[in-house]
Amino acid sequence: MRLENKVAIVTGGGSGIGQAIAILFAKEGAKVVAAGRRIEALQSTVAEIVRQRRISLGLKKSGGEALAVTADVSSFSSIQNLIQKTLEKFGRIDILVNNAGIYLAGDAVSTTEEDWDKVLAIDAKGTFLCSKAALPSMIKQGKGKIVNTASIAGWIGFEESIAYCAAKGAVVNMTREMALDFGPKNINVNAIAPGVVETDMTQSFLQDENAKKSFLDKIPIGRIGKPLDIAYAALYLASDESDFVTGETLIVDGGWTAR
C-alpha cells in the first residue's frame, strides 16, 4: 500500500474530488480525517471507508481508520480545532490535502465585493490557513506532504470567473512559495490543477448540453474528468514516490491546456 500508516487530512472531504481522495487514500492504508462544513456528507465518506476496510479485512466489524471533523477553512480557530482533533485521534499529520473550494461566476464588473471576498477567503486564504496550522506538526516530524487543489482556471484565463481565477492563481504561486520555505524541512508542497470534473460544483454547467459540448470540444481525451482522475494524481503527490517533486502544479485536464 502506498500510504501505509500515514495520517492524511482532506478538506472538502464530504463530496466530489475530496471524497474520492479520502476513499482512495484510505484504500492505500492512510488514516484519513475528512474535514468540511457538512457533517452528514463527511460521515458518508467515513462510512464508505469503514465499509471498504471491512470488506478488505474480511471482518464482520472494524473500527475504521477515518474521522469526520466539521471545519471552515476560512477560519483559523476552526482549523486549529481540526488539527487538534487529528492529533488527539491519530497523533501526527503526514499529509494535508487542501481541496475545499467554491466557485462563483462573474466578470470584473458583475462580481460583487462580497463574492470576491468569499471566494478568496475559502479558495486562497483557506489553503494558507490550513497549511499554516498543519506545518508545525510536519516540521516536528521531519517530513510532510501538502497537496493543494488549484484549477486550470489558475493557469489560464477563464471567462466570467475573475474571483476564482485570482484565487486559484494564488494557490499555484503559494505552492511554489511554500515549496521554497519548507523544502529544507523535508516537506513537499505541490498542487493539482484539474480541468472540468463531474462534481456538484460543475453539475449545473454539465446539465446544459451546449455548455457540456463546448467543454468537450476543448478536451482532446474526449470526456469530462471524474473525481478519481484527480484522486490518483493526489495519491502520487502524497506518497513517497514524489519525494523529489516540489513547487509543481500537475495539470489533470484531459489535454485542455495542451493547445
Of the residues 103, 164, 232, 236, which is catalytic? 164
39 within 8 A of 19, measured Cβ to Cβ = no
According to CB under 6 A, which residues from 58 to 87 bind ligand NAD? 71-74
Spatial CA neighbour of 43 closest among 7, 67, 78? 67
Is 101 a binding residue for ligand NAD by CB under 6 A? The answer is yes
Is 249 a binding residue for ligand NAD by CB under 6 A? The answer is no
Which of the stretches 107-115, 179-187, 190-198, 242-250 binds ligand NAD when contact is defined by CB under 6 A?
190-198
Q: Is 220 exposed, middle or buried (0-12, 13-18, 19+ CB in 10 A)?
A: exposed
Is 254 a binding residue for ligand NAD by CB under 6 A? The answer is no
**Phi and psi of 57, rounded to 5°?**
-85, -10
Interface pick for ligand NAD out of 9, 17, 170, 231 (rule CB under 6 A): 17
224 within 8 A of 213, measured Cβ to Cβ = no
Active site residue 232: no
Is 175 a binding residue for ligand NAD by CB under 6 A? The answer is no
C-alpha cell of 180?
521554497
**Phi and psi of 197, rounded to 5°?**
-125, 140
**β-pair type (187-194, 144-149):** parallel
Is 166 a binding residue for ligand NAD by CB under 6 A? The answer is no
Interface pick for ligand NAD out of 22, 197, 231, 250 (rule CB under 6 A): 197
Q: Which residues are catalytic?
A: 164
Q: Binding residues for ligand NAD, per CB under 6 A? A: 11-12, 14-18, 36-38, 71-74, 99-103, 122, 149, 151, 194, 196-197, 199-202
